[in-house]
Amino acid sequence: MVNVLKRLADFAITAILWTYYIGGFILVFSSLYFVSFFFRDKRDVAYQQLNNLFFRSFFALLRTVVPRVTWQVSDEVRAIRSSVIIANHLSFLDPILFVSLFARQKTVVKKDYFRVPVFGWILETSGYIPAFTEDSGAEILLEQVGKMKTYLAEGGNLFMFPEGTRSRDGRIGAFDRGAFRIAKFCDAPIRVVVIRNTGRLYPPGRFLFNTRERFTISVESAGTLTPDYADETFSLSALMAKARTRMEGRDNP
């Protein structure tokens, strides 16, 4: 009986959150996105800021309805600008958490999402990039990567999860080189960030939020990598190995 009640609590809170996610978008944010579409010069900036506002409000609601979970996002992470951010990936919450942390944010999204009506259009207008391994989407990829250097120089962040998929057991999987390749292309620093416990709140493969446990979700910096990309001895795989070591906490930032 107690278990049934707990499951019901999870269900009710999940329903509140997803109702806000969908309803908040349709009733409030869709009109803002529509109006912002007419900001021709800075349309992508306006969309990124709206994405940020939408997910900030989502996480404010999440913190309110799930008070047992505490959140610690370091000031160092909040202050990141003009960087390629890489992080471990535990939950569907991770990318939207990053969108909520940075007013200027871009990321790489699965190509299929660009085909979803409205959602795909927002992704494209926001300047997000289709996943690299896909055959199509080359035009968007070329356009967005071409703009990335200026975007980062102006204070924007590109965040990516180099594992490419959520970890089921907390261990860090193999890295894809896309994030590192873009950092080199843009001569940008790499900020290594470690996320903890989002997978406990919203585990992969589950529809319901886990709202009954007490734990802390943290987002912390594990250091900055500023390689000399022009150096003759520069190696992308060595840079990836170094980033991995930082992420795993096997050396001091």
Cα–Cα distance for residue pair 16/18, rounded to 1 Å? 6
Is residue 189 a contact point for another protein (CB under 8 A)?
no
The stretches of 93-186 forming alpha helices (DSSP H) are: 93-101, 119-125, 138-153, 178-186
Q: Site for another protein (CB under 8 A): which residue of 236, 242, 245, 248?
A: 236
Is residue 133 a contact point for another protein (CB under 8 A)?
yes
Coil, helix or strand at residue 125 = helix
Nearer to another protein, 50 or 129 (CB): 129
Range 47-85 burial, b when 16+ CB lie within 10 A, else e: bbbbbbbbbeebbebbeeebeebebebeeebeebebbbb
Nearer to another protein, 215 or 234 (CB): 234
Is residue 150 a contact point for another protein (CB under 8 A)?
no
DSSP state, residue 224:
E
Is residue 242 a contact point for another protein (CB under 8 A)?
no
Is 160 buried (19+), middle (13-18) or exposed (0-12) by CB count in 10 A?
buried
Main-chain dihedrals φ then ψ at residue 102, nearest 5 degrees: -125, 125
Nearer to another protein, 60 or 138 (CB): 138
Per CB under 8 A, the segment of 88-96, 117-125, 127-135, 193-201 that binds another protein is: 127-135
User: How near is the Cβ of 114 to another protein at its closest, in Å?
Assistant: 14
Per CB under 8 A, the segment of 46-54, 76-84, 202-210, 230-238 that binds another protein is: 230-238
Please give the residue ranges that form the binding site for another protein (CB under 8 A): 132-135, 137-139, 141-142, 145, 177-178, 181-182, 184-185, 235-237
